[in-house]
Structure 1
């Protein structure tokens, strides 16, 4: 482990609070000195903000991340104009907890949405609420999907558009929407296009204040559906580059059937990939709307996925498990006023809990001490920063699924995983030498050398979180 690492807060040499407030102070100081791109972030009115969240889009399924055939020209362009975090993760690889992490800047053990059945607590404070108090026009458009008594009365939101069909998952085709307190039939057949329409309408509203748009798509969640001309676009690809252990019927064995992965894995995978490209097209339409209206220069655009997805790796499908394919997400940020090296790739580990404090930081507002994430704003201007060297992954039982409670520590080089089930013994991987996590080092000489420090790290992180 890195010397000087503060286990309680995850930052070398300083506490999390010191890091957050030092970061905000340094941005303000640089703004006062006239560094391009920081002046508006440190004083009102702040920059506009657009956060685009997809569902189940894993980190390596973009053209700019080297996928062999998936076409994502809009996401690639966003990365070329901004920065891409190549090691971005979620604190829990599951829809509801991850979404709450993005909104609150807190881990699931703090915000309380531990799985897809524990309800959202209306006392939770979101970055939208705080930005509204700071003078922003705000909108939540798209997938809510957190348990509770229906859709929330979300504080600090001027426009609220969501859906409850399919237990909150929504439908790709003809999905009714809840728009500012009233139900409306869909105006477009395909939901990704419909949500993008609402997003552009919000951007186009007459205003004299900055805006913050939270746009959460259903795509690319199961049941994968793409419209023309994307439907079937990858049917002619014979070698899908699926992992060698992914047999065509893996979705029907070893409890994988509970995830609804009925059918041949290659066929489902093609549908997934074409749905990604359909999403990318609508993302391009939104970016074009920003740029054509002269808003691109002063708008922070963030694109991320709520978790990854397993396509047969380790003989598994879906997410939840602590493998890289499950916990790692795309994370791209464009902000022309601040990013001084477009196309930069950043290898430091960022988390979904970092979004909220970062947006507040860029708006010139100190993140509240209740937030557990860190502001990654300094990375955008290529500044050196002391950063986390390890973090806690947690996944709580989510009935009726058979995944146990999982806790893991992920460092820059290793991952150690424990569960509460004797059927799933501990796992330890050297991420540098074994990025696909095929060789469990528990019981080996290399594992014996690394295990004691990793186990101590995991136990302390769990203790600090109140889990043990």
Structure 2
């Protein structure tokens, strides 16, 4: 069109029409483009084992970069410090005792609604790559998955992450559940390109500081570094495809580090998770961090709200989308967690606020020794040596104590490691009753139970070796309801 030959009024009309149509096209394009979501979950990594959480030794530059450009949660908590119960809780939006998968290696029942299925039914391409651990019924939530399909996930579980992102259909928004085996025992990253020196390790007070313990932690850090490396590759691929801006990347872990007093425990060392959210289109680059409490059951409703998909009424979490937009916002005042059978008989329940942690132990006659893979670790062996010498500190002795207190209360303003149980102190009597009531109300509201015939030990509590007995499951908490 030769604009110079048009009359002034007609020229104005043409320019207005072009501008209007262009604006409508751009508006429609941006409003109809739903956010993509990449959910990345580590295996057995504690909250303070990333650099962005203050760890000065571990090498996690890619996660740290995501945190610096996004939002870091300082108070994110799991519902179980145990692999499959934690993952099934996240994907179902319900507590372990409420979704029928409360114990290790129990599959999520088909009656539960995994949130990626709802994304799939609402136009999202959904894919899973890496560790599974949720049962065959959950396969239906994904267009593509690696479980039982002949895929080789690699030693760390990350082999198909970038491949699946490259091979996705380009005409749909996407959701990827990327799950690593890092950092689960046995260690497999000691010869990876990124390693750590045992001499530089800071040993927690509840471990025995020996060369063997330091090497154990260094090997654990090597797996974390491998996990971080592959996250960097995922980000690069998203950037290469030009979709990083409108992609929500979430990085977290399913439970605490596989060490004594961490994995399976309801203390922060087991139940607090790193949680980093990167979303350039919505999160201010200066957002920094948030102190707001969130629970793993909040992840499903949050992702569904991000995708503008209705949240099932029986989901037990609440969306924290408003925190992503305003780090000062709060969606809950407390979180709840549980410890059920994981190699050993157990029944613990925990409620935590920003200031206090309370737990109730329905099996105080049993030691709280940690899972079998931890019992076989060099770190455990070093603690056993101190025990045999009668030289354990109170913090180191915790995993051996039996009987245990039925109730524990920790004042987090006084000490963060949950080492000093104040439940018996008179000045905390009112707080003890308050926290106990909160926990009981939650148990009643969510249908929690304490069966007499809980699944018994399948492993030796001293050696971690499998017992030569018939391994029969008891009644899982919540199943009666």
TM bracket, shorter-chain basis: 0.7 to 0.9
For 1:213, the equivalent position in structure 2 comes to 176
**Of 94, 102, 126, which aligns to 1:114?**
102
The equivalences for 1:3-82 within 5 A come to 44-82=32-70
**1:194 partner SS:** coil
Q: What's the CA shift for 1:230?
A: 3.5
Q: Comparing both structures, which one devotes a greater share of its residues to strand?
A: 1
SS of 1:222's equivalent in the other structure is coil
Counterpart in 2 of 1:35?
none
Matched, 1:460 2:422: no
| Cα distance between partner residues in 2 of 1:454 and 1:189 | 45
Would you say the 8 A contact 2:351–2:358 is kept in 1? yes
Contact 1:100 1:113 in 2 (8 A): yes
1:374: which partner in 2?
318
Q: Is the 8 A contact 2:157 2:179 kept in 1?
A: no
Give distance in 1, aligned partners of 2:261 and 2:163: 33
Aligned to 2:344: 401
| SS of alignment partner, residue 155 of structure 1 | helix
**Deviation per residue, 1:273-311 (Å, 9 max, x gap):** 011011101110110110122110111111111111264
Give the distance between the partners of 1:190 and 1:409, measured in 2 at CA.
36
Return the match for 2:265 from 318, 321, 342: 321
Question: Are 2:333 and 1:413 aligned?
Answer: no
TM-score between the two structures when normalised by the length of structure 2: 0.75
Equivalent position of 2:216 in the other structure: 268
Residue 133 in 1 paired to residue 133 in 2?
no
CA distance, structure 1, for counterparts of residue 112 and residue 306 of structure 2: 21
Within 1, Cα distance between the matches of 2:262 and 2:353?
A: 24
- The number of equivalent residue pairs is 384
TM-score, normalised with respect to structure 1: 0.77
3-state SS of paired residue (1:160): coil
Relative to structure 1, the CA distance from residue 229 to residue 223 in structure 2 (aligned partners, 3 Å threshold; closer, same or farther) is closer
Give, in whole Å, the separation in 2 of the partners of 1:189 and 1:156: 23
CA, structure 1 residues 368+39, in 2 after alignment: closer, same or farther (shift >3 Å)? farther
Name the CA shift for 1:76/1:222 in 2 (closer, same or farther; >3 Å). same
Instruction: Give the aligned partner of residue 159 of structure 1.
Output: 144
Which residue of the other structure, out of 277, 300, 304, is the alignment partner of 2:225? 277
Question: Superposition pairs for residues 276-295 of structure 1, below 5 Å?
Answer: 276-295=224-243
The answer (yes or no) to whether the contact 2:292–2:328 under 8 Å persists in 1 is no
Residue 342 to residue 199, structure 1, CA distance change in 2 (3 Å): farther
> Cα distance 1:40–1:141, how it changes in 2: closer, same or farther (>3 A)?
farther
Aligned mates of 1:39, 1:355 — CA distance in 2: 28
Show structure 2 runs of 5+ residues with no match. Answer: 1-26, 365-402, 450-481
Find the aligned partners of 1:207 and 1:304 in 2 and give their Cα distance. Answer: 27
**Equivalent residue number for residue 30 of structure 1:** none
CA displacement 1:25-70 (0-9 Å, x = unmatched): xxxxxxxxxxxxx9999x5441111101111111101111110210
**2:294–2:331: 8 Å Cα contact kept in structure 1?**
no
Q: Secondary structure at the match of 2:357?
A: strand
Q: In the aligned structure 1, how far is the partner of 2:137 from the partner of 2:156? A: 21
Instruction: Report if the CA contact (8 A) 1:340-1:382 is conserved.
Output: no
SS in 2 for 1:348: coil
Q: Which has the higher contact order (CA 8 A, sep 6+)?
A: 1
Taking structure 1 as reference, are residues 443 and 318 closer, same or farther at Cα in structure 2, changes over 3 Å only? closer
Distance 1:300 1:330 in 2: 16
Distance between the aligned counterparts of 1:61 and 1:362, measured in 2? 28
**For 1:127-176, what per-residue CA distance to the aligned partner results, in whole angstroms no more than 9, with x for missing partners?**
11101111111111111113x5xx446223211112xxxxxxxxxxxxxx
Contact 1:135 1:209 in 2 (8 A): yes
2: CA distance, partners of 1:75 / 1:40: 31
The answer on whether the counterparts of 1:378 and 1:384 sit within 8 Å (CA) in structure 2 is no
Look at both structures and tell me which one has the larger radius of gyration over its CA atoms.
2
Aligned partners of 1:62 and 1:72 also within 8 Å: yes
Relative distance call for 1:275 and 1:44 in structure 2 (3 A) is same
Tell me the residue number matched to 1:334.
278
